[in-house]
Amino acid sequence: MTQFSVPWQPRPAHPYGMASRAVIALAQSVYGFAAPIVSRFPGAILISAVIATCVGVWMHSVLFGWVDTQLIQAAVTLPDYTPPALSLLSPSTWGLTPSVIHALRVDETVAASVAGLLDYVLWPVQFWIVRDVVGLGALFGLFNVIPVYVIWWERKVAGRIQSRLGPMRVGGWHGWAQSPADGIKLILKEDLVPAGADGPLFRLAPYLTIIPSLLAFLALPFGATYVLRELDVALVFILGVLGAEVVGVILAGWASNNKWSVYGAMREACQMISYEIPMGMALLVPVICVGTLSLSGIADVQQGGWFSWIAFSNPFCFAAFVCYFIASLASLKRAPFDLPEAESELVAGFVTEYSGFRWSLFFFAEYAAMFVICAIASIVFLGGWHSPLPASWGGGLGDGLLARGLTGLLFSGPIWLMFKSVFLLYVQLWLRWTLPRIRIDQVLYSCIQVLLPLTMVLVFGATVWTWASTGHNALWSTVEAATRIILGSIGLVFIGGFIAIAGYGFYHRRRMVGNLVQDVMPGS
Amino acid sequence: MAPEEICKLLTTEFTDAIVKTVVEGAHPYVQVSPDRWPDVARFLCDDSRLGMNLLRSISALDLLSDDRLACVYDLMRIVVDRPDVLITETHEFAIRVETDRNEPVIPSVADVWPAADWHEREAYDLMGIRFTDHPDLRRILCPDDWEGYPLRKDYEFPLEYHGIPATTEYELPNPRH
Amino acid sequence: MTMADTVLESAPDLLVDTDRVEQGDLRTEEMLVNMGPQHPSTHGVLRVVLRTDGEMVLEAIPHIGYLHRCAEKIGESLAPYQYIPYTDRMDYLAGMNNNQAFAIAVERLCGLEVPARAQAIRVVFAEFNRIASHLVSLGTYGLDMGAFTPFLYCFREREMILDLFEAACGARLTYSYITVGGIHEDLPAGWVERCLEFLDYFEPKIDDYNNLLSFNHIFVKRTAGVGVVSVDEAIAYGLTGPPLRGSGIRWDLRKVLPYDGYEMYDFDVPIARSGGTDEIPHGVVVGDCWSRYYVRVLEMTQSVRIMRQALANLPDGDTEAKKIKNLKLPDDEVYVGIENPRGQLGFYVRGDGSTIPSRVKARGPSFCNLSITTPLCRNVMLADVPAIIGSIDVVMGEVDR
């Protein structure tokens, strides 16, 4: 028999470089150590991790708050204290030394040696740079955790919608470790750049996509005090940086040197730029009603419970909420507007040529942006971090630790923002796994011919409504209150219907279709 | 219309074109000479009595012992006058066209039945029959640079294709089952 | 070199016209795009070369043959009962129907009589396989339109059908159950009851698919009025099966030329109707993608009807004709067409007096239905190409054979 030459080159004996091998060895040893523990106590580890995250976030917020209120205010009252001139070059805000801190804390009832150490622990917290580093660390952690668990949750939701279970194996309890495991797999995958691709641009594109959605977290308030940078124009800033994401996508499509990628990138560009306009216009409606672009300011006017939420304040805001949600689906390229990565048409759109870590960066960016968009929707329309109960009811609880916890749980705290954002995220997932995809001409039709005129009308109507309500007319106040009650009741009916349907589904969850034939059939 | 009637109609219309008629057996057919075949095809399709508007299949045959190649055209009628009514009547018939094995040429009928386009390409690809006036006569199943016509009885399987070994399990030039 | 300059090989009839300057003041360039053979919505290894101008597809040329397995050549060296497993692998979603077509062709050639019980069981399995095949078609069409969920619903039901197939013949995809002269084995005990139980479960599910996909507004918008095939065009290109009935002709070989006792069963042949009547959504035109899709949905109900009748009156007796091994094929030829889920599946078999046929030719419905791609995909949107190809519902195993 003749020998045939192999048209491809055999692989080298060691396909990975030194660093990669070190990483692999590290991962293997960590896995060997951690896997038995994780597989033995999966549920306990998950629950304690959640609790630890909450406590950690709460702790550092409390620490900052304590330093601010106790130390610095006390320091101002010291007779020989002069605050340093604030400038960019002076990193310390208040110029407290450990001895000053100690002097301020001598009356505390902590053991002296521990208290002495604590002075040095507290000392760096007064510097903005330290706080920023701590805050950024927390945000970066959140930025990593959110996509990972949204992806896991999407798979679970998709599974339930499709009458299957979704991930069930990795980590034990409902496959909670599936997404981290996938992430590790993606990081360890081969680093591929197609031969015909534009290498530097191809490598740059994922970062240009992920950095904007990371930036959006900087100005996103999670609660009244949970924000890294309180910006007066937070809304515009977040919309702006999220809009910059399209640059990375176009670059990815172009640099891949693949026609499907170019199609995906061009669709993304045309769709995202079109839908930014109705999205911004829809957000202008509540901004006109409230009169501020600061997200904290917008949230503050919604303290009065369910009926004070902006979505129910007038019909224009109610419609604007729906418009915003649809437009945000399109600008996030979520189904039914997922044309840029339409699998059945464009293979995978602009991510066709990407694999491994770079591919995962695109998905990190997408899911993080989804969360940000949903958080904005909750802040601007749905009361932000305030619960449906009026915040004033919590006024009598006092200032103790338990009272603070109860206030956060019942009236206004980051948990409510998370809850609302996650609910909106769930609606996005729900739509994605239910609806087919629409065509590009229909996408642009619905933007330019439907949403854009509609939001323009809404902006005009909101202006008129706001102008009418500035007059303190008694009749108008009645109309306004009635509108709130009607719209709020519609909202209640929606939520009630949702809960009823969900409850019905939960009650009948055992009725999921099993395998009718296999159990009973002879010979199968 | 019964096969006998179709045979009779064709022989009266095209006395010179009909080479052979076979009415008995499971597959009645009429053999038509290649040069008159487009006219017969046009008549079969357009005539109101026949109206054979559905070309079901073209089966190319290798008649090695006669040193001939043949194409069997299976035709059928679908009545489209009354669109909403269930069709229960039809007639089917076959036409056979033979050609020389060394110089196999048959006129194309792709302009009569567009369905013939791909069937003729397949016959060209696998049996090597050239269809004159075909709009796009290329190989359809085999690669463009394939050599030989695989369905011919004397076809030798290649041992290699672009560096890919193509011998059979027992190193035989032709597969045996 | 820009992307438009890249000329794809083996597309000599597609030339990019780079001098085209049209559409207002904008200069547009045409581009050749290679869709497949590895593409999620080409249902296997179909390759379509698209000449595009932005999102518009000006021309689409299908290239087939990536799954060519010499099935017809193999048929010339095997006895018919040995060739049955190869027919399974042609249209691998409708193995039973393929077995049946080849078996009937050989039986007609040799004049074999099939026992009544075998015929009834054949009908049951052919219709059952039609349901299974249409379920795949429905689900994957949903996938083509971007709806992922109906696919899994359809496959959930298909799994149950496959379980029943497995119980009867031991295979889940390539059955080889219907053989020359009858069927391979009689039904196992309790099968009929299980099957009836499944049909009771399955019939309401069709409404679920309709609510989820067929009457979904977006789905209708995507498919209605897209890829319209007129009656004459459909017949001229040899379209059969749901694509032909989707053009509005009540044509079904089970009614026209009944085989295996189909004349004994009472069933309708559903056809497409235009929008606004009979709960058909507005915008639907007879012959468009939605009509072809919906004909399949309606056919599943009819298949259930046929199966119920066949299972209720299952005759007793043998399931296989005598003497099918070493069957001498007479020096004659035969062409038999049956109604496959995708259309008319025909087998041309020619014997020469020995046990091995001298020519086996399969006329696949997908092969003929696919040939209308080029006229249909002219001046459509890029997203319509998967819609059109999906609505034709090709199985590449049978196109390439």
CATH number, domain containing residue B39: 3.30.460.80
Taking each continuous run of H as one helix and of E as one strand, the counts in chain A are 20, 0
Q: By the CB < 8 Å criterion, does C167 face chain A?
A: yes
Q: By the CB < 8 Å criterion, does A1 face chain B?
A: yes
Selected residue with higher pLDDT from B40 and C26: B40
Q: Quick one: which of A306, A199, A304 has its CA closest to A251?
A: A199
- Residues 501-520 in A contacting C (C-alpha not used; CB under 8 Å): 513, 515-518, 520
pLDDT in tens, A337-390: 888 777 777 777 888 888 888 888 888 888 989 999 999 999 998 888 888 877
Contact C373, C386 (CB under 8 A): no
DSSP C320: B
Total count of residues recorded for chain A:
524
The arithmetic mean of pLDDT across residues A465-477, rounded, is 79
Task: Work out the pLDDT band at C27, boundaries 50, 70, 90.
Answer: low
Task: Report the DSSP pairing between strands C56-63 and C47-53.
Answer: antiparallel
pLDDT of residue A102: 63
- Best probe of the C interface among B23, B118, B149, by most C CBs < 10 A, is B118
pLDDT in tens, C99-146: 999 999 998 888 888 888 888 999 999 999 999 999 999 999 988 888
The whole-angstrom separation of Cα A151 and Cα A154 is 5
pLDDT of residue A88: 44
Q: By the CB < 8 Å criterion, does C68 face chain B?
A: yes
Which residues in chain A touch residue C41, judged by CB atoms under 8 angstroms apart?
A: 343-345
| Overall number of domains in chain B | 1
pLDDT of residue A116: 64
Nearest beta carbon to residue C198 from set A260, A517, A524: A517
pLDDT of residue A466: 84
Q: By the CB < 8 Å criterion, does A335 face chain C?
A: yes
pLDDT of residue C293: 92
Contact check, Cβ <8 Å, A2/B160: yes
**Closest alpha carbon within chain C to B93:** C335
The whole-angstrom separation of Cα C11 and Cα A484 is 65
Q: Quick one: which of A409, A378, A394 has its CA closest to A299?
A: A378
Task: Work out the pLDDT band at A83, boundaries 50, 70, 90.
Answer: low
**Six token digits for residue A462:** 């909101």
Chains that touch B (3 or more CB pairs under 8 A): A, C
Contact check, Cβ <8 Å, C164/A521: yes
A324 Cα to chain C: minimum distance (Å): 20
pLDDT of residue A514: 45
For residue B90, give its domain range: 3-142
Identity of the amino acid at A139: L
The whole-angstrom separation of Cα C323 and Cα C338 is 24
Chains that touch C (3 or more CB pairs under 8 A): A, B
Tell me: pLDDT of A89 over 50. no
Which residues in chain A touch residue C212, judged by CB atoms under 8 angstroms apart?
A: 434
By CB neighbour count within 10 A (0-12 exposed, 13-18 middle, 19+ buried), where does A76 fall? exposed
- Residues 2-41 in B contacting C (C-alpha not used; CB under 8 Å): 25-27
pLDDT of residue C123: 92
Do the domain assignments include residue B78? yes
Nearest beta carbon to residue A344 from set C189, C218, C386: C386
Contact check, Cβ <8 Å, A2/B171: no
Global ipTM: 0.86
Contact C80, C329 (CB under 8 A): yes
The arithmetic mean of pLDDT across residues B152-172, rounded, is 74
Contacts of A216 (CB under 8 A, 6+ apart): A238, A241, A242, A368, A369, A372
Contact check, Cβ <8 Å, C238/B115: yes
Selected residue with higher pLDDT from A141 and C18: A141
The arithmetic mean of pLDDT across residues C255-265, rounded, is 87
The whole-angstrom separation of Cα A98 and Cα A122 is 8
Do the domain assignments include residue B7? yes
Which residues in chain A touch residue B164, judged by CB atoms under 8 angstroms apart?
A: 4
Instruction: Provide the mean pLDDT of chain B.
Output: 83
Which residues in chain A touch residue B159, judged by CB atoms under 8 angstroms apart?
A: 2
Q: By the CB < 8 Å criterion, does B49 face chain C?
A: no
Contact A371, A146 (CB under 8 A): yes
Nearest beta carbon to residue C219 from set A436, A516, A517: A436
Do the domain assignments include residue B76? yes
- Give CA separation, C145 vs A176, A436, A447, C293, C382, in Å: 31, 5, 20, 12, 12
The whole-angstrom separation of Cα C96 and Cα C173 is 9
Q: By the CB < 8 Å criterion, does C33 face chain A?
A: yes
Chains that touch A (3 or more CB pairs under 8 A): B, C
pLDDT of residue A231: 80
Tell me: pLDDT of A91 over 80. no
Tell me: pLDDT of A11 over 90. no
**Closest alpha carbon within chain B to A7:** B163
Contact C128, A483 (CB under 8 A): no
Which residues in chain A touch residue C383, judged by CB atoms under 8 angstroms apart?
A: 339, 342, 345, 437, 439-440
Contact C329, C109 (CB under 8 A): yes
- Residues 254-293 in C contacting B (C-alpha not used; CB under 8 Å): 255-257, 269, 271
Do the domain assignments include residue B15? yes
pLDDT of residue C183: 87
Task: Work out the pLDDT band at A412, boundaries 50, 70, 90.
Answer: confident
Task: Work out the pLDDT band at C26, boundaries 50, 70, 90.
Answer: low
What percent of chain B is modeled with pLDDT above 70?
93
The whole-angstrom separation of Cα C54 and Cα C41 is 20
Task: Work out the pLDDT band at A5, boundaries 50, 70, 90.
Answer: low
The arithmetic mean of pLDDT across residues A305-314, rounded, is 84
The pTM assigned to this predicted structure is 0.82
Contacts of A133 (CB under 8 A, 6+ apart): none
Tell me: pLDDT of A172 over 70. no
Which residues in chain B touch residue C71, judged by CB atoms under 8 angstroms apart?
A: none
Q: Which of A455-469, C24-38, C86-100, C177-191 has the lowest mean pLDDT?
A: C24-38
Q: By the CB < 8 Å criterion, does B140 face chain C?
A: yes
Question: Is the bond preceding residue A453 a cis peptide, omega within 30 degrees?
Answer: no
Contact check, Cβ <8 Å, A4/B167: no
Query: CB A245: neighbour CB atoms within 10 A?
Result: 26
Q: By the CB < 8 Å criterion, does B164 face chain A?
A: yes
pLDDT of residue B155: 84
Contact check, Cβ <8 Å, C147/A524: no
Q: In what order do the strands lie in the sheet with C380-381?
A: C31-35, C47-53, C56-63, C380-381
**Closest alpha carbon within chain A to B170:** A1
The whole-angstrom separation of Cα C32 and Cα C21 is 17
Contact check, Cβ <8 Å, B90/C256: yes
Most trustworthy range by pLDDT among A162-171, A335-344, C58-67: C58-67
Do the domain assignments include residue B84? yes
Do the domain assignments include residue B157? no
Q: Which domains does chain C show, CATH number per domain? A: 3-63 (no CATH), 71-400 (1.10.645.10)
Tell me: pLDDT of C5 over 50. no
Do the domain assignments include residue B138? yes
Contact check, Cβ <8 Å, B160/A1: no
pLDDT in tens, A223-267: 777 777 778 888 889 988 988 888 888 898 888 888 888 888 888
Q: In degrees rounded to 5, what are phi and psi of residue A412? A: -150, 115
Tell me: pLDDT of C172 over 50. yes
Q: In degrees rounded to 5, what are phi and psi of residue A168? A: -130, -15
Q: By the CB < 8 Å criterion, does C5 face chain A?
A: no
- Residues 258-297 in C contacting A (C-alpha not used; CB under 8 Å): none
Q: Is the dihedral of CA A196, A199, A203, A208 positive or negative?
A: negative
**Six token digits for residue A348:** 């995978």
A8 Cα to chain B: minimum distance (Å): 11
Contacts of A459 (CB under 8 A, 6+ apart): A281, A284, A285, A288, A316
The whole-angstrom separation of Cα A518 and Cα C159 is 10
Task: Work out the pLDDT band at C302, boundaries 50, 70, 90.
Answer: very high
What percent of chain A is modeled with pLDDT above 90?
5
Most trustworthy range by pLDDT among A342-346, A506-510, C28-32: C28-32
Q: By the CB < 8 Å criterion, does A80 face chain C?
A: no
Q: By the CB < 8 Å criterion, does A344 face chain C?
A: yes
Do the domain assignments include residue B37? yes
- Residues 7-46 in A contacting B (C-alpha not used; CB under 8 Å): 7
pLDDT of residue A522: 36
pLDDT of residue A523: 35
